[in-house]
Amino acid sequence: MAGFITRRGLLGGVPLGFAAGQAGNPLRAGAVAVNITPSLGCDIAGSMTNHVARDVHDELHARALVLDNGKARLAFVVCDLCVVAPEVIGNAKALIERHTGIPPRAVLVSATHTHSAPAAARLFQSEPDPRYMELLAARISDAVRRALRRMQPARIGWGTGTENRLVFNRRYEMAPGAVPANPFGATDRVLTNPGTGNAKVLRPAGATDPQVCLLAVQTVDGRPLCALGSYALHYVGGVPGDTISADYFAVWAGEMRQRLGGGPEFTAILANACSGNINNIDVRGSSKQYPPFAKMREVAAMLAGESHRVWQSISFHDWVELESVMEEVSLGVRRPGAAEVEEARRLLPADSRSVTERRQIYAKETLALAGYPNQVTAPVQAIRIGELGIATFPGEAFVEMGIEVKQKSPFKPTFLIELANSYLGYIPTVSGHRDGGYETWRAKSSFLEVEAAPKLVAAALSGLQKLRVQRRPAPDGG
Between CA 296 and CA 468 the distance in angstroms is: 38
Sign of CA dihedral 368, 370, 376, 378: positive
CA 460, 464, 470: angle at the middle one, nearest 5?
150
Residue 169, C-beta contacts closer than 8 angstroms, at least 6 positions apart:
204, 205, 206, 207, 208, 277, 278, 399
CA proximity to 107, closest of 129, 128, 132, 79 = 79
Confidence at 475, pLDDT banded by 50, 70, 90: very low
Residue 285, pLDDT > 80, answer: yes
Confidence at 24, pLDDT banded by 50, 70, 90: low
Q: Which residues contact 122 (CB under 8 A, 6 or more apart)?
A: 85, 128, 368, 444
On the question of a cis peptide bond just before residue 130, with omega within 30 degrees of 0, the verdict is no
pLDDT-derived band at 286, boundaries 50, 70, 90: confident
Q: For 404-446, what is each residue's pLDDT tens digit?
A: 999 999 999 999 999 999 999 999 999 999 999 999 999 999 9
For residue 288, report the phi and psi dihedrals to the nearest 5 degrees. -50, 135
Rounded to two decimals, the pTM is 0.94
In the chain, what percentage of residues exceed pLDDT 90?
91
**Averaged pLDDT score across all residues of the chain:** 94
Residue 204 has pLDDT above 80, yes or no: yes
User: Is the sign of the CA dihedral 201, 202, 206, 208 positive or negative?
Assistant: positive
* Residue 413: how many other CB atoms lie within 10 Å: 16
Q: Is the pLDDT of residue 5 over 80?
A: no
What's the whole-number mean pLDDT along residues 388-414? 99
pLDDT at 39 over 80: yes
| Residue range 35-41: mean pLDDT, rounded | 98
Helix then strand count (H, E) for the chain reads 9, 25
Contact 275, 111 (CB under 8 A): no
pLDDT at 476: 43
pLDDT higher than 50, residue 15: no
Strand partners, 427: 397
Question: DSSP letters along 50-64, please?
Answer: -EE--EESS--EEEE
Supply the pLDDT for residue 427.
99
Indicate the pLDDT class of residue 128, thresholds 50, 70 and 90. Answer: very high
- The answer on pLDDT for 6 being more than 80 is no
